[in-house]
Amino acid sequence: MRNTLATELLFDLSQPGRRAACYPESDVPRQSIDELIPSHHRDDSDGPALPELTEPDVIRHFLNLSTLNMSVDTHFYPLGSCTMKYNPKRHERMSRLPGLVDLHPYQRLDDQQGMLRLLHDMQEMLGEIAGLPAVSLQPAAGAQGELAALLVASAWFRSQKENRTRVLFPSSAHGTNPASAAIAGFECVQLENSPGGLVDLDELSAKLDDQTAVFMITNPNTLGLFETQIEDIAARVHDAGGLVYIDGANMNAIMGVTRPGDFGGDMMHYNVHKTFTGPHGGGGPGAGPIAVREDLAEFLPGPIVTRTTDENGQPRFELTTPDRSIGRVRSHFGNVGILLRGYCYLRTLGRDGVREVARHAVLNANYLKSLLTNVLPVPFGDHCMHEFVGTASNLKDERGISAMDIAKRLLDFGFHAPTIYFPLVVAEAMMIEPTETESKATLDSFAAALHEIANEDPEFLHLAPHATPASRPDDVQAARKPVLAWSPSDDNDS
């Protein structure tokens, strides 16, 4: 049964004379508005047609809307390539301590030593996990981290008197990779994957030349596979004079187990809001720190938190900008609130805990993959890392059930849909990332729902979801001709 309660607008609920508050009669003598406001400063129209409602009307309306939200706190959220893990609430409490949230970035550094120490320690921990010693916390999200790192690469090549113009990336790359490269002024060159879903070494070698600046690679890649030839890839790029950029979107699978700097990466970004439990529903905020090898450090965006010693031999923390910095990419210290949550997460886990997170993320993904082999077969790889990409092609060909049908129907079962139709190298793709925070019972329940959906009437599935206020909005029209505002007059005009 479709839930229509939350589809009513406040204007639909409006009744003349309803009020949220009643005010006493004013004892101020009335005056004509003509005496108070000249006519040329007045709007004598009827004014906005605001709905007339009681306070309970308003509260119930918005509470009903809130029950339709899906989040990691309310539902299983296997959105591939997004790492929708549970965000521990103690990190929320700790990041809101008065000594942290009451600071202002323009206060004296003497007042901010505690905060600066936390940020300095965060830099150190991220550098250790990456195997890349120099870190900037400034970028506000993963894509901005990519852009900042590519600007660092561009500045470094200029310092070497080299004019390299091309960035290479595999066809399974995140869409932000070519976008960031283009914004940074590079020519984008895409490489097709090998039949096994990994980087094709022969094509890589054929495309590498003296114009290659950076090879961008996500490891594990967007098919959920570890690039087992990564050291060979890095060696070939380095032999051509280029830099290897590791997209850290999938660090949840390898942190504490292996390090990008150890397998040939020269630079990378983190998604703190993904890997380190900063909340990122609703579009943010995020944090995308970058880590680079030592000789690239002087180009990092500032400020960087550095540790010194005061006249009493006590540690002191300062803000410094590298000598040849590309400049600021964010105001003040970056998205500090998200960085603090990541700091709490890493301190809670410790070195061994970080490794266990990665192992359990991989375990959960492989377990769920094994349950879905007959429903959503995986075209690449026998084993996956933290996520896998199944295909609904067989269901589409045999029964007319598409990945979109399955995704929409999952909403009726109380599950957020996986990422669909990405990466593009898999037809009818469904990218599923369970994360390490989900129980076996949840994974079993999700798999059972998918098995049930696969055997339902295709015509019934074409109309799914059936329990949400709206079924299938016109996605194409919404993207091409979005209507972002509405008023009652719009209905009167139609």
Taking all residues of the chain, what is their mean pLDDT, rounded to a whole number?
Answer: 94
Residue 114, amino acid: G
pLDDT tens digits for range 169-194: 999 898 899 999 999 999 999 999 99
pLDDT at 52 over 70: yes
* Same-domain status, 231 and 128: yes
Residue 81 lies in a domain: no
Residue 237: per-residue pLDDT: 99
Residue 160 lies in a domain: yes
Cβ-contact 420, 70 below 8 angstroms: no
* Same-domain status, 284 and 344: yes
Q: In the numeric block, which tokens belong to residue 459? A: 């015509």
* Same-domain status, 102 and 176: yes
Residue 6: per-residue pLDDT: 60
Please report which confidence band the pLDDT of residue 492 belongs to, taking 50, 70 and 90 as the band edges: low
Distances (CA, A) of 360 to 248, 279, 354, 372, 477: 18, 20, 10, 18, 41
Closest CA to 252 of 79, 400, 35: 79
Residue 475: per-residue pLDDT: 83
pLDDT tens digits for range 331-341: 999 999 999 99
* Same-domain status, 394 and 296: no
pLDDT, average across residues 418-436: 96
Residue 384 lies in a domain: yes
Neighbours of 245 (CB within 10 A): 32
Please report which confidence band the pLDDT of residue 397 belongs to, taking 50, 70 and 90 as the band edges: very high
Q: Cis (ω within 30 of 0) for the bond into 29?
A: no
Q: Which domain holds residue 121?
A: 89-349
- Tell me the range of 49-53, 143-147, 275-279 where mean pLDDT is highest: 143-147
- Percent of the chain scoring above 70 in pLDDT: 97
Please tell me the least confidently modeled range out of 39-53, 175-189, 451-465.
39-53
Residue 49: per-residue pLDDT: 80
Residue 8 lies in a domain: no
Residue 285 lies in a domain: yes
Residue 169 lies in a domain: yes
pLDDT at 160 over 80: yes
Residue 22: per-residue pLDDT: 85
* Same-domain status, 109 and 198: yes
Last residue of a domain, one of 349, 365, 400: 349
Residue 461's domain is classified under what CATH number? 3.90.1150.10
Could you tell me how many residues make up the chain?
494
Please report which confidence band the pLDDT of residue 490 belongs to, taking 50, 70 and 90 as the band edges: low
* Same-domain status, 253 and 153: yes
* Same-domain status, 381 and 285: no
pLDDT at 2 over 70: no
Beta bridge pairs of residue 306:
318
pLDDT, average across residues 130-154: 97
Please tell me the least confidently modeled range out of 45-54, 256-265, 382-391, 421-430.
45-54
Residue 8: per-residue pLDDT: 82
Residue 3: per-residue pLDDT: 62
Residue of 50 and 257 predicted with greater confidence: 257
Q: In the numeric block, which tokens belong to residue 100? A: 């942290």
pLDDT at 1 over 70: no
Residue 17 lies in a domain: no
* Same-domain status, 296 and 363: no
pLDDT tens digits for range 238-249: 999 999 999 999
pLDDT at 269 over 60: yes
Residue 320's domain is classified under what CATH number? 3.40.640.10
* Same-domain status, 316 and 372: no
* Same-domain status, 223 and 277: yes
Last residue of a domain, one of 331, 349, 367: 349
Residue 187 lies in a domain: yes
Please report which confidence band the pLDDT of residue 489 belongs to, taking 50, 70 and 90 as the band edges: low
pLDDT at 283 over 70: no
In 331-351, which positions are buried (b, 16+ CB within 10 angstroms) versus exposed (e)? eebbbbbbbbbbbbbbeebee
* Same-domain status, 143 and 268: yes
Entry pTM: 0.91
* Same-domain status, 382 and 471: yes
pLDDT, average across residues 199-228: 97
Last residue of a domain, one of 319, 349, 379: 349
pLDDT tens digits for range 404-423: 999 999 999 999 999 999 99
pLDDT tens digits for range 359-375: 999 999 999 999 999 99
pLDDT, average across residues 23-48: 86
pLDDT at 5 over 80: no
- What total of structural domains would you count in the chain? 2
Please report which confidence band the pLDDT of residue 473 belongs to, taking 50, 70 and 90 as the band edges: confident
